[in-house]
Amino acid sequence: MIIGLILVGLVVVAFFGFRAFRSYMQIRQHGLTPGVTDVEEIRGWMTIPYIAKAYGVPEDYLFAKIGIPAEGNRDKSLGDLNFEYAFGKPGAIIEAVKETIREYQTVTPTPPGPASE
């Protein structure tokens, strides 16, 4: 029985280890790198603070523009916020965030990137 439990434990560790490695590789290949501002990469698991940092948009600006109070919602994913504030309209909050970022990027010039050598 002990050997069986050890084997089950190893299978669970291998399964989640593989998933973590696969996620790591996806982030390295397609992740948000500095200077990349493709709003189509925004997903429902992301939070407003994460998006604010990744896209260079102030958190308060995002919360104000999508009409959601920041207090108590900083740790919630866009999917959770959509469920609470969009009354079940699939993707409504994600689309509002994307539009807000696009708007912010048109009014706020992006700082120049590192010089190429």
Cα angle: 105, vertex 108, 110; to 5 degrees = 75
The proportion of the chain whose per-residue pLDDT surpasses 90, expressed as a percent, equals 47
pTM attached to this predicted model: 0.61
* Structural Rg of the chain based on CA atoms: 19
The proportion of the chain whose per-residue pLDDT surpasses 70, expressed as a percent, equals 85
- Distance (Å, rounded) from C-alpha 10 to C-alpha 15? 8
34 compared with 62, residue with greater pLDDT:
62
Q: Name the token pair of 47.
A: 């939070």
